[in-house]
Amino acid sequence: MENKTANTMTKRERVLNAFNNRQVDHVPEAFWYHFSPDEDLGQETIDAHINLYREADFDLIKVMCDGYFNYPNPGISQIKEAHDWFNLKPLGADHPFIRNQIMRAKGVVDGVKGECCVFYNVFCPMSLMRFGTSEELLMKHLREDEAAVCHAFKVIGEDIKALIKGLIEEAGCDGIYYCVQNAEEFRFTAEEYRRIVTPAELDILEYANKLSDNNILHCCGWAGDKNRIEVWKDYPSKAVNWAVYVEKLSLGEGKKFFGGRCVLGGFDNTKSGVLYSGTKEEVKAETRRIIEEAGKTGLIVGADCTVPADIAHERFGWVKEALLEI
C-alpha cells in the first residue's frame, strides 16, 4: 500500500504535477508489461492491470492493448496490388476491435475509482497496417504507390480516432499513451518519414489533444534499432517516453530535446538491465542516478518500454524505496 506518512499528494495530483513540471512530494513511478499479448482475457485482463497497480504501488496505470495488435480490417485481405489500398474502408466505431478495447479501459478506470490516472496504449496507423499485413508488403507497396498507402494510413486513422474518443469520453481514461514507430534509420530518411508517415500520425495526436490535455508520446525502439527521433520532436504531448538505451539519448538530454516537457522512463527495459537483473542496492542507486540527471520535477520514473512479464515485483518496490528517500 502507499506510504501515507511520506506522501502528501494523491497519485493523481503527483502525476499531473509531474506532467506540468510542478513540484511533487516525490517523483512518481510506473512500469508495465504484457499480460496476454495475443488474446483478450476479458475481466481477467482488467483484474491483472489493477492487481499489478496495487501490488507494485504505481502512480499511474498504462493499460495494454493485448489481443488487439492485429488490425482486423477485412479489406486488407483484398489487397493484391499497391493501388488497392485506395479501396480500404474504416471498421467503424461499433466494431468489436474498438468496442472491446474501450470496455477494457472502462473496467480498469472503474476499478481504481479515481485513485490514479489511467492511460491506454494506442498505436499509430503505420504500425496497425504493419501488424495487419507484413513489413515486407507494406514497404513494397509504399515504394510502388505512396499515395495509396498514405490514403490507407488516413483510413486506419479514422478507426484510431474512434477508439480514442471512446477511451477518453466513454471509458474515462485521462489520456492515451500514443506509440509511434517505424522511424528506424534503415527504413526512411527524416524527410521521407515527415512526408509519408507524419501527416496521419500527427492528425491523430492532435485529435487526442482536443479531447485531453494529458497525453503521453511513446517513441518506440521496439526492435532495438535506432530511430530518427528528431522526426517526433515537435509532436505535441504533455509527456514523452523514449528508448533511452536504444536512442542513446539520456532523460536529461531528452528533456531539453523535447522542449522541457515531462519525461517518463530512465530504466533499461531488457533482462540485462539493472531493473530486471541488478541487486537491490544497484536498482536503488540507478533510481538516484536517474533523478540526479533529470531532476525531481517533470519526471516519472519508468522504463524504455514494456518490461519482461516475469520480473519480480519486489524490484518495483526497490525503486519506490529510493524515490521516497530522495
Query: How far apart, in whole angstroms, are the C-alpha atoms of residue 296 and residue 263?
Result: 11
pLDDT of residue 3: 43
Q: Which amino acid, 72? A: P
* Letter string b/e over residues 158-189, b meaning 16 or more CB atoms within 10 A of that residue's CB: bbbbbbbbbbbeebebbbbbbbbbbbbeebbe
Fill in the DSSP letter of residue 213.
S
Domain ranges of the chain: 11-325
**Grid cell in block for residue 111:** 476499478
Query: How far apart, in whole angstroms, are the C-alpha atoms of residue 93 and residue 103?
Result: 13
Each of the 326 residues of the chain gets a pLDDT tens digit; together they read 344 346 899 999 999 999 999 999 999 999 999 999 999 999 999 999 999 999 999 999 999 999 999 999 999 999 999 999 999 999 999 999 999 999 999 999 999 999 999 999 999 999 999 999 999 999 999 999 999 999 999 999 999 999 999 999 999 999 999 999 999 999 999 999 999 999 999 999 999 999 999 999 999 998 889 999 999 999 999 999 999 999 999 999 999 999 999 999 999 999 999 999 999 999 999 999 999 999 999 999 999 999 999 999 999 999 999 999 99
How many Å separate Cα 304 from the centre of its chain? 10
CB 109 within 8 A of CB 136: no
Cell 499509430: give the residue: 124
Laid out side by side, the sheet with 175-180 consists of 60-63, 117-123, 175-180, 216-219, 239-242, 262-267, 299-303
Q: Is the pTM of this model over 0.85?
A: yes
pLDDT of residue 254: 97
CB 71 within 8 A of CB 124: no
CB 222 within 8 A of CB 244: no
CB 275 within 8 A of CB 269: yes
pLDDT of residue 6: 62
Angle at Cα 316 formed by Cα 315 and Cα 321, nearest 5°?
Answer: 95
Q: Is 11-325 a CATH 1.10.1530.10 domain?
A: no
pLDDT of residue 60: 98
**Grid cell in block for residue 219:** 517513441
- DSSP secondary structure, 86-112, as one string: GG-----TTSHHHHHHHHHHHHHHHHH
**Grid cell in block for residue 35:** 499480460
CB 300 within 8 A of CB 18: yes
